[in-house]
A and B are shown apart, each in its own frame.
Chain A
Amino acid sequence: MEFSIYRFNPDTDSAPYMQSFTLPDDQIEPGMMLLDALLLLKTKDDSLGFRRSCQHGVCGSDGMNVNGTNGLACIMPLANLKAPVVLRPFPGMPVIRDLIVDMDNFYRQYREAEPWLINDSPEPEVERLQTPEDRDRLDGLYECILCGCCSASCPSYWWNPDRFLGPAALLQAARFIEDSRDQATEHRLERLDDAYRLYRCHGIMNCTQVCPKGLNPSKAISDIRRTMIKRSV
């Protein structure tokens, strides 16, 4: 199977280039994932750079652009990929080396969303109660693994990385706005009510299409807008 992989090492390369790799067919086993293939290619060239850890789609380390679409290498079956498989780092994020990108801005936006539960009433000795229905409203929001696939596929994020929060951070904002235990809804909505932070989203839906966890940031964003409008009338 043929691969074409984006290579760039700032220590030695003046410009990025695409490099061809071949994985012999006898090394390919049924059920193999793209990450397994990358790990094999790395045994031949130990300078090939990519992040990875859990190997089953929960840690969010190995997001990359595969044949034009962002995804996690560890849960992409090789059998579903068209060869030559073209691998690039996330678009719209600065490249550190090969498939490794600098995610500082992505994490900064995450922090901007103030992704922590705020509840300043006295702490009970036991758990705060939450009905199963209220808890259900967090499904589809809390499972985000911060892989960055969504934000790195969002055109609004590419153009305004400094001011638009991007789908991942906005999904976090929604997760806390929806949480019946959180008392800072007003404050959260006020912070988002800005021409850029929230309103740069044009509903292009790339984010929802690529999310490897099947989450729907686009819907979360429109839900926040709806809540905002409801509050203002």
Chain B
Amino acid sequence: MKLTTRKFDALIIGAGGAGLRAALQLSNGDARVAVVSKVFPTRSHTVAAQGGVNAALANVLPDSWHWHMFDTIKGSDYLGDQDAIEYMCRAAPKVVYELEHFGVPFSRLDDGGIYQRAFGGQSQNFGKEQAARTCAAADRTGHAILHSLYQQNLRARTHFFDEYFAIDLIKDEAGYVLGVVAFEILSGEPIVIEAKTTLIATGGAGQIFRTNTNSLSNTGDGMAMALRAGVPLEDMEFVQFHPTGIAGRGMLITEGVRGEGGFLINSEDERFMERYAPQAKDLASRDVVSRAIAIEVREGRGCGRNKDHVLLDMRHLGADMIMKKLPGIREMSMTFLGVDPIEKPIPVFPTCHYSMGGIPTNRDGQVVVPVKDTPEDPVPGLYAAGEAACVSVHGANRLGGNSLLDILVFGRAAANHILEFLKDNRYHRPLPQGSVDQALERLSRWERKGDGEAVEPLRQELRKVMEDHCGVFRTAEVMQEGVDKLRVLRERIANAVIRDHSQTFNTARIEAMELENLMDCAMATMCSALGREESRGAHSRVDFPERDDERWLKHSLYSLLDDSMDYKPVRTQPVSVESFPPKKRVY
């Protein structure tokens, strides 16, 4: 069989906000760029983002990028890299204005400026009064951004490979990444896409947990590809549980509801967040609010027949405000719960939402790995951005509205660096056939027939193991058991089979390959969590309840080889301002 081969300057895997922002920069920079996505671009997960994107525009309340930087570092529980955070917060206003110029239909203030709302963990003056920093298009900000970026890419004539599934990276002996082996979902035909640079923008891995707010397509494919190419994953133990997923179902109710004045109540009708965060109350950081809800339920103050959730009340906001600023939330609540939030509160519970960890990069988006004495040596030709990457700006806990910002700022930064790289690397390097064959083998493995377990029950089991052994509260004993269970599952997945062996749009095969990727991400998460013997941000150890800066102010690095852990220092030095040293975190 002759293998189709295509050649581009720059390849982007993933057409969410990160991928499309990078693609636009590259297309406008006259590079030949290809975007590969397993779903049609506007169906990428970014479309689901609701609340908004942070930038210190000061349209509503006084603000500065420096306050934004402080909040982000504090929110990260001091694990974020301060150089990258400074870069992101400084770039934020420019990136949002650009979005506006691209056509994003932001909600507007009376003076015609971009509407901004309050979100959790935001403050003025380094921890004082609440700030309003989140730029919003009603509660459909992700949709508005993703569609506008796709539209501008159409205008710029970016080359799209829609509904192509990337299998594995191509890497040569010298360590250069030279593209990807993928297959066209429609025909099942494999294809080699050669490129001088490859950007991974494949999003998060929220599907490793049973209840989550994520799209079914968020299976951590890019993270697993990086692992298989010998790149360790950074800080995978930090999984954000969003405080307000619809109880039992997982759909997200944006933090914007609390930003607009909604609050949480327990079975005693008490606004319990006042006890946990006297100043910020319902707008404390997400890790803080999620833990508070879990504790309320554990101590018997949950609502409903099974006392297993709390309520999010927004009735006092009034019908006008809800219909104008939170129409999508109302629609979702009525569809899935038959509850109109204008009349009744919504049952909520913490739900797996976001991967703080991911592929380690520097602030130019270059993927960096430890080599001998340098903890951060760039992998030539390989970049990552968005939820798949770990720059790290979110550290141990991401602030709401900072992910859309992250994907845009670093999608753009990576593209700028790629344009530089292309100037010095004018020619394609020879294609290493061995690497291509290895990837093809991962595809043909699923042609195996005969007896074997099916994919879907294995996937369900995996997600259950993660929920039971790596949830909001963690202990060594429970996680060790989790690792053992995952090891067994890994063997079983290696022997699984699918029944459908046809070529045309074979969704069974895609799900099988996604399961392999989920498996790698789950193992990375569990091993990293077991390794970190302290509580920080979203990672709460019952057996190590305190933050331990002495031993643990460092990033975790998990490698596929022997499931081993390594660590590297946090970058506590910003680019131009003074460092914010770790302090006790109170809200």
Contact of A53 with B217 at beta-carbon distance under 8 Å, contacts A46-B455, A75-B335, A97-B504 already known: yes
Asked whether, in the complex, the Cβ of B143 is within 8 Å of the Cβ of A61, the reply is no
B108 near A135: Cβ-Cβ < 8 Å: yes
Task: Give the chain A neighbours of B48 by CB distance below 8 A.
Answer: 54, 56, 58-59
Candidates A43, A50, A128, A132; contact of B457 at CB < 8 Å: A43
- In the assembled complex, how far is the CB of residue A212 from the closest CB belonging to chain B, in whole angstroms? 10
Asked if A116 is at the interface (CB within 8 A of a chain B CB), the reply is: yes
> Of residues 56 to 87 in A, which have CB atoms within 8 Å of B's CB atoms?
56-61, 75, 77
CB under 8 Å from chain A, chain B span 79-113: 96-97, 100-103, 105-113
Q: Pick the contact of A53 from B45, B336, B502 — CB < 8 Å?
A: B45
- Smallest CB-CB separation from B457: which chain A residue? A43
Q: Is the CB of B105 within 8 A of A142?
A: yes
Bound complex: CA of A134 vs CA of B57, how far in Å? 21
Interface string of A128-163 (1 = CB under 8 A from B): 111110110010001101100000000000000000
A123 with B101, Cβ < 8 A, contacts A43-B456, A46-B498 known: yes
Is A47 close to B, CB under 8 A? yes
A interface footprint on B137-163 (CB within 8 Å = 1, 0 otherwise): 100100110011001101100000000
Known pairs A42-B456, A129-B111, A142-B144; A47 contacts B103 (CB<8 A): no
Answer yes or no: A126 CB below 8 A from chain B CBs.
Answer: yes
Query: Which B residues touch A11, using CB under 8 A?
Result: 502-504
**Roughly how many angstroms separate A197 CA and B155 CA in the complex, as a whole number?**
20
B131 contacts A by Cβ under 8 Å:
no
Instruction: Confirm or deny: A25 has a beta carbon within 8 angstroms of a beta carbon on chain B.
Output: no
Decide: B251 and A46 in contact? CB cutoff 8 A: no
CB distance from B147 to the nearest CB of A (A): 8
**By the criterion CB–CB under 8 Å, are A53 and B113 in contact?**
no
CB-based contact B215/A53 at 8 Å: yes
Query: What are 14 inter-chain pairs, A to B, with CB distance below 8 A?
Result: A31-B249, A42-B507, A46-B455, A59-B39, A61-B39, A61-B40, A77-B335, A97-B504, A127-B97, A129-B113, A134-B108, A142-B144, A179-B105, A214-B331
CB-based contact B148/A117 at 8 Å: yes
- Which B1-53 residues sit within 8 Å CB-CB of chain A? 39-40, 42-45, 47-48
User: Which are the 7 A-B pairs with shortest beta-carbon distances?
Assistant: A117-B103, A129-B112, A47-B500, A46-B508, A116-B151, A59-B43, A11-B502
Report whether over half of chain A's contact residues are helix, strand or loop; otherwise say mixed: loop
Least CB distance from A142 to B in Å reads 5
A116:B143 contact, CB within 8 angstroms: no
Q: Tell me whether B101 and A116 are in contact (CB under 8 A).
A: no
Given A59-B43, A126-B97, A128-B100, residue A12 in contact with residue B502 (CB < 8 A):
yes
Chain A contact residues, CB within 8 Å of chain B: 9-12, 31, 33, 42-43, 45-47, 49-61, 75, 77, 96-97, 100, 103, 107, 111, 114-117, 119, 123-132, 134-135, 138, 142-143, 145-146, 179, 181-182, 214
- Our count of residue pairs bridging A and B at CB distance below 8 angstroms stands at 155
Taking a contact as CB atoms closer than 8 A, the residue among B42, B113, B143 that contacts A143 in the complex is: B143
* Cα-based distance from A11 to B335 in the complex (angstroms): 38
Check B143 against A58 for contact (C-beta < 8 Å): yes
CA distance A58 to B214 in the complex (A): 12
Interface of B toward A, CB cutoff 8 Å: 39-40, 42-45, 47-48, 57, 96-97, 100-103, 105-114, 137, 140, 143-144, 147-148, 151-152, 154-155, 186, 215-217, 249, 251, 328, 331-332, 335-338, 454-457, 498-500, 502-508, 511
* B residues less than 8 Å from A100 (CB atoms): 505
Q: Evaluate contact between B97 and A46: CB separation under 8 angstroms.
A: no
Among residues of A, the one whose C-beta sits closest to the C-beta of B505 is A97
Min CB gap A194→B, angstroms:
21
A17 to chain B, nearest CB (A): 16
The answer to whether A145 and B143 have CB atoms under 8 Å apart is yes
Pairwise interchain contact A127-B504, C-beta atoms closer than 8 A? no
A46 touches B101 (CB 8 A): no
Residue with the greatest number of chain A CB neighbours at <10 A, chosen from B39, B97, B114, B507: B507
B97 neighbours in A (Cβ, 8 Å): 124-127
9 additional contacts (CB under 8 A) given A59-B45, A75-B335, A111-B154 = A46-B455, A58-B47, A58-B143, A59-B42, A103-B40, A116-B148, A124-B97, A126-B57, A138-B105
